[in-house]
Structure formats: structure tokens, C-alpha cells
Amino acid sequence: MPPWTATAPMADATTAWRETAGVAVEYVLEPLASTHHTERDVAAELVRRAARLWGTQSGGPQAPAFDAAIAEPWASAAGGRATAQPTAAAAAWRTIADQLRDRVFAGEWRVGRGLRCLIFAPIDGDSDRGGLLIAWREDAPADRAWLRAALGDAPVTLTDIFGNRHTIGPETDDDGTHQTHDIPLSAEPVYIEGIDTELVRFQSSLSFDPAIIQSVAGEQTYEVLISNPWDIPASGRLIITEPGGYDAASRSRDRSWEITPRSITFDVAPGETVRVPVTVSFSRAIEAGPIDIVFDTDLVAEREYGWVRASVPGEISLDGVEMEIAYRKPAAGPDADLIVEATVTNTGQTTRSFDAFAFGPGMPRVRASIGSLEPGQSAVRYFPFPKAAAALGGERVIVSIAEADGPGRLTKGVDVLAR
């Protein structure tokens, strides 16, 4: 299995081979070429690929559907005598093999954009081995490469890819309401043991469906999903804290969002999932792009957990439309103009028309229109702010488009550098 092999299709192949041939399946993972990568990078990539491969198994208390091994775990040592020594990849392989022993994939936890977190549960539910998280950073910005979540009341054990361990305890927020474990993530996966597996699986189940919120005028209906991974009923009260809600910094309610109901009382049977409809609307000033959907839950299951906060990545977009914003300054000097450019692309299947506006702090709004934009076509509109380059330096300029004959709208901004 070369490094470039996608893992998801391999799961389908495993099932087909077992059903048709009735034979055991073993994958042999080939490490990256050490001539182009450091030994540590080779080991980290191998662990990420092995974790993803293990994560293609369906959840539940079942044995793995395949075996796995690595190619060439030994390297010849330099010197006069021909001796073989284990590679860094071999050491990392031994660690992940120990971590995954007697554990089965139980789901993926969307802890943040550009982060990966896989949940593994003990095959034997009564085992004292406990659950496991394998988490790493993919392409998240460094300042957002953190796993900040409620993993239980006790300290958890962090193990790096070579087996080095340390513990980290939960921290309480300033108002004493929530406890979280704050764990930095990097491209090297970290193994997290000592977690409350059912609590983690409960948090991973919380979501908006669909996860992409459409940027349209008026109310829309979505569903909040709540699952119960325990073998007893789970009940409590869930509050959709963000987007909108109460702004602790300003001590006021954010009225740019309307979500009804924000507070949900639930009682979920063991192993069941409930879907709660909510209506959502928001101001045209809300920009498209990634958002965090934050749930605060006063949870009772096998014990009273108190308030548990879970953050789920979401997104605001408009189906069939993309928009990119840029700016330029045609000339230098204190009286230079600022030109904002909006590139709108119709990625849908029908012709679209838009009215467009640009807003700069303290400036009159600038209007434009886009008529009969055919599928696959792009249109560029320019919004001039005469002699405003200096005044808008350090500010954010907003461009908003609205369908001429429909509810769709899309708002994005660009930060103007101060010079």
C-alpha cells in the first residue's frame, strides 16, 4: 500500500475480497522514501495512514476486518559490518500496534477545521483498557491547532508516536462552568488515553444537519442531532450558544442571528439518535465562510456531568455561487484611490442575476449589478472608493450580493493593509 493510496476505497476492497474469496486480508504499508523526508516525518505519515486505515472499519464491538504490516522496518547500519537496525517508522509502528490492540474504530470527532480526531473503543466493553483518541493537525492554522474539549474529570495520558508519555489534567474556565482538556496538536499524531469514551462519543454526535447553512433571506429549517452512546437513557438541556446567542464580552445578546429554539430539552433512549428541528435566520451582514457551532449541554447519563461544551465546525455558503474579494491601489500617495474587486462565479445549473454593494467604514456604499450570469461563467465587478486608500487602511471592506429574483445572498470581506 503506497503512501499515495486512498484509504476509503481500500475498505470497500477489503469487504469484496473477504466476501468473494473468503480469505484474510493483510495490508503492507510502504513508508515514504527516506531520501526525501526525515525519519520522523516518515514515521508520522505512516501513523496517520495506519490510523485512517483502521478508521475505515465500521464501528461497534467487532474484530478488525484485516491485518496490517509495514514494509522494510529495518535499515542497514553504516560501517564495516552489515547489521540491521529498526527504523524510526518501526518504532512508531510498534507504538500504534500497542495502542490499537483490542480496540475498534468507534467514529470520527470533528473537533475543528484542518484537524483530525479518531475515536477507538475497547472491543470488550468491560475491558479496563478504555477508549482512545488519535488526533493530529492536517492544515489548520497553528493558532487553531488545539483539541479543546471535555474528555472527562480525570487527567488523560498523552503518548507520542514513539511511546513517550505524559499526563494533562482538565482546566476550568473563568466562570467555573466548563471543564476542558487543552491539547496542542501537530502533524505528528498523539494518542490520548484515559478518556470518558461515552462522553466523547456523545459530543461527537452533536451536529447541525445539513452542516452547511445556506446564505439566504428568511427562515430556514435545520435539525440538531443528539445521540446516546450509553446503555442507559441520557437526558438534559442543550443550548445552541453560537452562532449568535449571548456575547459575554459585550454582555449583550447578538441579534444578528435568530435560532428557535435555542434551548432544547432532550431524553434519548440507549443507542438512539433524536433529530430536533430548529429554524435559523441571520442578518445580511453575516459573512460567508467557516463558523463554529457551539453547544452547551447540561447532561445526565450514567452520572450528572454538569455543563459540557462542544464546538462543531460549520459553514455559511450559497449553493451554486462563489465569490472572491480583492483590492488594489492604482497609485500611491495620501489621495490614492482604493478599488475593490469582486469575482462572482456561477457554479450552478441555472442563470443567475445579482445586485451588488460594497461597504467601507465611513464611506458611501458603492453599487453594481450582475445580469444573466450563465452556468460556469464568472463576472468581475469593480467598486471604486475615490481618495480613500489611506482612510480605509487597516479596515475591512465588505461586498454583498443578492439575487435579483430570489432569496440568495452572499457577503464577504477583505482586510485592507494599513500603509
What's the pLDDT at 402? Answer: 98
Q: Is 164 helix (H, G, I), strand (E, B) or coil?
A: coil
Question: How big is the chain by its Cα radius of gyration, in Å?
Answer: 26
Per-residue pLDDT of the chain in tens (419 residues, 90 and over written 9): 555 455 555 555 555 555 555 556 677 788 777 777 898 999 999 999 999 988 886 544 454 566 777 776 766 565 545 566 788 888 999 999 999 998 999 999 999 999 999 999 998 766 678 999 999 999 999 999 999 999 999 999 999 999 999 999 999 887 777 889 999 999 999 999 999 999 999 999 999 999 999 999 999 999 999 999 999 999 999 999 999 876 655 667 788 999 999 999 999 999 999 999 999 999 999 999 999 999 999 999 999 999 999 999 999 999 999 999 999 998 888 889 999 999 999 999 999 999 999 999 999 999 999 999 999 999 999 999 999 999 999 999 999 999 999 999 999 999 999 87
Beta strand extents in 301-394 (DSSP E only): 304-317, 321-328, 338-346, 352-359, 366-373, 378-385
Other CB atoms within 10 A of residue 13 CB: 12
Residue ranges covered by each domain of the chain = 27-69+86-195, 200-317, 321-416
Whole-angstrom distance, CA of residue 195 vs CA of residue 362: 51
Whole-angstrom distance, CA of residue 348 vs CA of residue 166: 51
Residues in the chain: 419
Check if 27-69+86-195 and 200-317 are the same fold.
yes
What's the pLDDT at 109? Answer: 97
Question: Per the structure block, which three cell numbers stand in for 17?
Answer: 475480497
Instruction: Return the CATH superfamily for domain 200-317.
Output: Immunoglobulins (2.60.40.10)
Whole-angstrom distance, CA of residue 149 vs CA of residue 161: 22
pTM: 0.86
What's the pLDDT at 350? Answer: 96
CA nearest neighbour of 43 among 35, 52, 34:
34
Count of alpha carbons within 13 angstroms of residue 379, beta-carbon side: 18
What's the pLDDT at 61? Answer: 45
Whole-angstrom distance, CA of residue 256 vs CA of residue 286: 8
Domain 27-69+86-195 has what CATH class? mainly beta
Whole-angstrom distance, CA of residue 139 vs CA of residue 163: 24
Domain 321-416 has what CATH class? mainly beta
How many H-runs (helices) and E-runs (strands) does the chain carry? Answer: 4, 31
